[in-house]
Amino acid sequence: MVHNFNAGPSILPREVFEEASRAILNFNDTGLSILEFGHRTPLFENVMGEAISLVKELMQLNADKEVMFLHGGASTQFFQVPMNLLDEDALAAYLDCGIWGTKAIKEAKQFGHVEVVASSKDRNYSYIPKGYKITSDAAYFHYTTNNTVEGTQMHSIPDTVVPLVADMSSDILSRSMDFNRFSLIYAGAQKNIGAAGVNLVIADKNILGKTKRKIPSMMDYRQHIEHGSMLNTPPVFAVYVCLLTLRWLKKTGGVAAIEKLNREKAGLLYDTLDASTLFKPTVAKEDRSLMNVVFVLDDPEKEKAFLQLCKQEGMIGVKGHRSVGGFRVSLYNAMPLESVKQLTALMKAFEQRHV
C-alpha cells in the first residue's frame, strides 16, 4: 500500500479518482468523455453550477459572495488580486510568513504601495508574528492562512476593519471558520479541492470595480462573475474533479466533520514528535499547521536512512522542501487516519533502533 504524504498535487479520495476515470471514458452514460464535449452545453453547465453551489453551501457563504473557478494556480492570484483591488497611489498591507507570502508581496508592488506589517523571516518563518498593526486606510490586508513549506498556520482570523484577502491554498475547507469575514479568498485546487489546473476564487462583489486602472477582461473578476466562470473555455476536467471532491466532502459530513478528523491526525503526529528524542518539530507550538507537519533529524545520515525506510514502506512525499530541509508530512482532507498511524509507528520503530 502507498501512503501519499505529498504536499501538492496531493492525495484525493479514492472514490473521486474512480468516478473521474469513468468520466474520461463515458460521462454520465452519454457515450462522451468529460474531455470532449462542449463547455457551454448543459452537460458542463450543470457541472459548473453544482460545483459553485457546493462551495457556497460548504462554506456557508452569504449572498454578497461570488464563486469563481479560474485558470492558473494561486501564483496567478498574486498579481490578479492587486490588479483588481489596488490603485497605484493606494496602500495594501501584507503579512510575510513564508515563501508564498513573499511572492505575493513581490507581485503586489508592481501595482501599488505595499506595507509589510510583520515578518517571521528572522527565524526562518518558523512562527506567526503577533501584535502587529494594520494600517486602517489600507485597501486590503493579505495573508496566507497556512504556509505549506514552513508548516505554520494562522489559527484565528485577524481582527481588523480593513478588507481581508487570504491565500487558503493549502487549508481551505479543512476547518470551520467564518468565511464571510473575508473580502476575497483564493486557493489552488491541488490540495483539498481537486486536481491541479484550476483556482477557486471567492470575492465579495462589493469590493470590486473600485480601482481606476483598466483591467484586461481575462484578469477582471467582474467579467468572470458575469460569465459564470466561462469567460473562455474553463479547465473542464479539473473543475469536474473539484465537483467530485466537494460531493465527497459533503457526504463525509462537511467542514466540521473533516476538521475533527484533521485534528485527530495532526494530534497523533505532533504527540509522536513531542515524545521523541530523535525527531524534532521546527515550528512554534502555538502556530503548528494541521495540514503540513515539518520536522528534522540532527544527523544527516539518520535522515537519509529514515527517508530510505519510508520509501521501502510506501511512505511517499515525506522529504521536506529544499528551502527548509528535513521532513514534511502533509495531512490534507483525504489522508486516512490509518496512514498517519502507520507513519508514527514507523517513526517509533526507527527511533528505537537509532537512539
Q: Which of 65, 191, 265, 319 is catalytic?
A: 191
Contacts of 162 (CB under 8 A, 6+ apart): 93, 134, 135, 136, 138, 140, 141
* Amino acid identity at 300: P
Sign of CA dihedral 269, 274, 276, 281: positive
Residue with cell 485597501: 139
Three-class SS state of 248: helix
Q: Which of 167, 204, 220, 287 is catalytic?
A: 167
**191 catalytic residue (yes or no):** yes
Alpha carbon distance 35, 24 (integer Å) = 6
Helices 254-275 and 337-354 sit at what angle, rounded to 10 degrees?
Answer: 0
| DSSP H or E segment with residue 69 | strand 65-71
Closest Cα to residue 168, out of 203, 144, 135?
144
Q: Which of 65, 96, 100, 319 is catalytic?
A: 100
**167 catalytic residue (yes or no):** yes
**100 catalytic residue (yes or no):** yes
Three-class SS state of 166: strand
First and final C-alpha spacing in the chain: 28
* Residues linked to residue 316 through DSSP beta bridges, in sequence order: 4
> Known catalytic residues?
100, 167, 191
